[in-house]
Chain A
Amino acid sequence: MQFFNSDKMNVDFIGKRRLFMIVSAIAILVGLASLMVRGGLNYGIDFAGGTMVQVRFANDVGSDELRQALAGVDMGDVSIQQFEDEEAHEFLIRVEKSKTDLVGLSDEIKVVLDEVFGSENVDIRRVEMVGPKVGKDLRRQGMLAILYAMIGILIYITLRFEFRFALGAIVALAHDVMITVGVFALLNKEFSLPIVAALLAIVGYSLNDTIVVYDRIRENMKGSGKLDFIGTVNRSINQTISRTILTSLTTMLVLVSLFFLGGGVIHDFAFAMIIGVLVGTYSSIFIASPVVISMQPKKK
């Protein structure tokens, strides 16, 4: 079976590079705009600090009942979110509380729930408390991790290829990360530690794709002298596109499996990865190599 025949395929990717750059720029701008409108990302308690309690009830409890039960606890803004499977009667109670002691808060919540619904019906499945100090640290660490990964990669590609290739790769990576983060801002999805892990995995993945194309360009540059640089790049993209799409496809297969079957924590992680793999595949075809061409010193 074969989706593409890379010998016969000859799409002019490079000729349309301006179009793709505009499309990407718009996507990034939409992301930035929604970031500004929302006043930043919707940080989960990992980064914002706060308390989260995941609770499951043996009996039929609705979110209104739960909200009423918790009204007596002094804890400021509470967000109550029901899990998708309504039969499970499972909720996430999230409190962003900074004014008083966070440590005892989950106990208070447990006591109230036990009282109202009966302790035999209440199963506290997960409790997380992150103090504001740690939240700040984790935020900084997350940013640093992505930054250092990019620097490390920049160095590696510069060593293995040329600097302009490295630059193209980094532009593509920044592009992928910005769009993925932008989607999270746009959908107001919670941004937590696993999402940072997903971003780093996306960085690795998207680069994987980009390098395969670069490698082909390098190989082709050594070979025939018939084509100019732009032609060589275009030829290389055409030759590798079959592989690029295939690998994205197999990766997507497992991600879809994780997305639907992996459960709560993994769900958002898989979502970020799906966006990242789509964008990363696109960028390694339409962004990474065209940037290298823009960097090409003009011949006189």
Chain B
Amino acid sequence: MIKSVKLRLAIVLVSVVLALIYLFPTMSGKVPGWWGNIFPTEKIHLGLDLQGGIHLLMEVDVEKAMHVSTDRMTDSVKRMLLEEKIKVLEVTQTETGTVKFILEDASELEHLQTFLEERVPAWEHMSTQGPVIHYLVSEKDQDRIEKLALDQAVETMRNRIDQFGVAEPEIRVQANNRILVQLPGIKDTRRAIDLIGKTALLEFKLVNDQFDPTKITVAELGNNLEVLYEQTRDPETNAVISRRPYVLEKKSLMTGEYISNANVRFNSQFGEPYVSLEFNSQGAKLFDKITAASVKRRLAIILDNNVYSAPVIQERISGGQAQVSGRFTAKEAHDLAIVLRAGALPAPIQILEQRAVGPSLGRDSIRNGFVSMVVGFLLVVVFMVIYYRLSGLVANLALVLNLLFIMSILALAQAALTLPGIAGIVLTIGMAVDANVLIFERIREELRFGKTPRAGIESGYGKAFLTIMDANVTTLIAAIVLYQYGTGPIKGFAVTLSLGIVSSLYTAIFVTRLVFDIVAERNPLKKLSI
């Protein structure tokens, strides 16, 4: 322990001033302009449970992403084989994710194998049975593709959220292909989920008018046709009101990846909102080609397997523009434009966990937390003064400083204060005086042995020190484990509890000892008020 009272006093004063500086922005609400040039301006950050907002945990279906990627690869391998003149009857992806080749002539096996080894190194040979050969994407590449899908999903979500305009969103990748999104201040959960979780895969497919969609059989559909629906939903309940079927050619002519911009426009006749699309130059060329080839046919615009509209192509469209209309509300059109601009998710996602706190509950929680903190504090403070008299006042000073330090470190570290976090602070109030109780009880013991106040203080602090350390380290272990395993607001409890423990060591031992020493220096104590 440092001997010089002056030096110790300086350390305490400096730490108190620093704490006040970090707390000032939170306390004052608004800081003067010059303050920001010299001092920190960050306020204590409130958790979602206190300021209101939405917490979403999602899982990206990476298997699906894997499947799509293998499908694409299979298509291009098919073309390559044609160029290479290796005749195959079939190249398809099986249900288990392997790629199946059926050779026309089994003797070409070796040719195929060397070709694939060279051109598609990501595929590993699995098995050969006569002309039937199976390949599988290597584990390394599977991991790579899955990681790419996850990164892409996060990127797309971040884009969408940024465009929607949320202050301080948090988007984090977690284990098991999960993504955690926190949106402070957002109330409408359904809208948020739609915005973030929509795959938003836009496709253009031709309508086949030769068949009646209500009567077509599975045999007639075959491999190249499919039936998709145009659904009308009740704007309020989101329930499907009507479904209109279309027979479509399965092959998608173009997808949303060529979109360069999307905006909400209003129909001049009825004022109905629609989304106008602009393609990039590559997309414009492609769209020009598609429309030129299919004038007078109907082109369906499909989003996530729902048909939005299927207008007749009146003439070739070369301007690189298209529109998606449907029965949107203005809000829906606005959000659709965002997701189309931000791009599609690489794979569908599933919502695993969803928590939303409204602003009114957040306000109530802050009030309840604050009131219970003040009442708990007063109870302890009064008790300490009754039980330990003047020494109790010293312990109370330590308690006030402890609260000050916890709060200022929260502001400094920008750790979120949550409702369980407030509970942690309140609990700390009760537990932090423990160090002083230990010391004071020890001093009382020493005094009963007939020691002078000064010697009693000296040996009381000395003997209690190790005990206090041991007792606090174990609580700290529990708090750190909780931080590691806790989720959301619970983490906030671990944070304030740990901060409280560490800072109470400083205030309850260092600061109170200093006070006793200062008093003892000025006037030698005859009797200790303890």
Contact = CB atoms under 8 A, between A and B. Distances in A.
Interface of A: 1-2, 6-7, 54, 56, 103-104, 106-108, 111, 123-131, 133-134, 138, 141-142, 144-145, 148-149, 152-153, 156-157, 160, 193-194, 196-197, 200-201, 203-205, 207-209, 211-212, 215-216, 219, 239, 242-243, 246-247, 249-258, 260-263, 265-266, 269-270, 273
Contacts of B420: 194, 197, 265-266, 269
B497 A243 contact: no
Contacts of A2: 387, 444
B467 A129 contact: no
Given A205-B431, A215-B466, A153 B477 contact: yes
Contact of B358 (A123, A157, A204, A251): A123
B351 A6 contact: no
A197 B471 contact: no
Contacts of B354: 103, 106, 127-129
A272 B183 CA distance: 31
Contact of A134 (B353, B356, B476, B497): B353
A245 to B, nearest CB: 10
B441 A266 contact: no
B478 A203 contact: yes
A255 B350 CA distance: 40
Interface in B338-371: 350-358, 360-361, 364-365, 368-369, 371
B386 A157 contact: no
Interface in B377-416: 377, 379-380, 383-384, 386-389
B437 A152 contact: no
Nearest to B190: A107
A111 B237 contact: yes
B471 A145 contact: no
A3 B418 CA distance: 37
A193 B485 CA distance: 11
Contacts of A138: 487
A145 B474 contact: no
B426 A258 contact: yes
Nearest to A265: B419
B376 A247 contact: no
Contacts of B358: 123-126
B478 A153 contact: yes
A205 B427 CA distance: 10
B376 A194 contact: no
9 contacts: A1-B388, A133-B352, A145-B486, A148-B485, A207-B474, A257-B373, A257-B375, A258-B427, A266-B419
Contact of A253 (B383, B419, B479): B383
B493 A197 contact: yes
B173 interface: no
A250 B490 CA distance: 23
Contact of B386 (A1, A104, A144, A254): A1
A265 B365 contact: yes
A179 to B, nearest CB: 17
* Those 9 A-B pairs whose CB atoms lie nearest each other, nearest first: A204-B475, A254-B376, A204-B478, A263-B368, A254-B430, A257-B376, A145-B485, A251-B430, A261-B372
A202 B487 CA distance: 19
A126 B358 CA distance: 6
A253 B376 contact: yes
B101 to A, nearest CB: 37
Given A7-B445, A125-B358, 19 more contacts: A2-B387, A107-B189, A124-B358, A129-B351, A130-B352, A130-B353, A133-B59, A148-B484, A149-B477, A160-B470, A197-B486, A197-B490, A204-B497, A246-B441, A250-B430, A251-B431, A252-B430, A258-B376, A261-B375
B351 A250 contact: no
Contacts of B350: 131
A125 to B, nearest CB: 4
A258 B384 CA distance: 19
A243 B387 CA distance: 12
A56 B475 CA distance: 38
Given A148-B481, A149-B481, A269-B423, A205 B475 contact: yes
A242 B302 CA distance: 75
Nearest to B375: A257
Contacts of A111: 236-237
Contacts of A262: 368-369, 372, 423, 426
B470 A254 contact: no
B474 A266 contact: no
Contacts of A209: 471
A141 B176 CA distance: 14
A114 B333 CA distance: 24
Given A107-B238, A145-B486, A208 B475 contact: yes
A126 to B, nearest CB: 5
Nearest to A112: B237
Contacts of A251: 427, 430-431, 434
A167 to B, nearest CB: 15
Nearest to A135: B353
A95 B379 CA distance: 40
B457 interface: no
B379 A253 contact: yes
A252 B379 CA distance: 10
A18 B467 CA distance: 28
A80 to B, nearest CB: 18
B433 interface: yes
B467 A257 contact: no
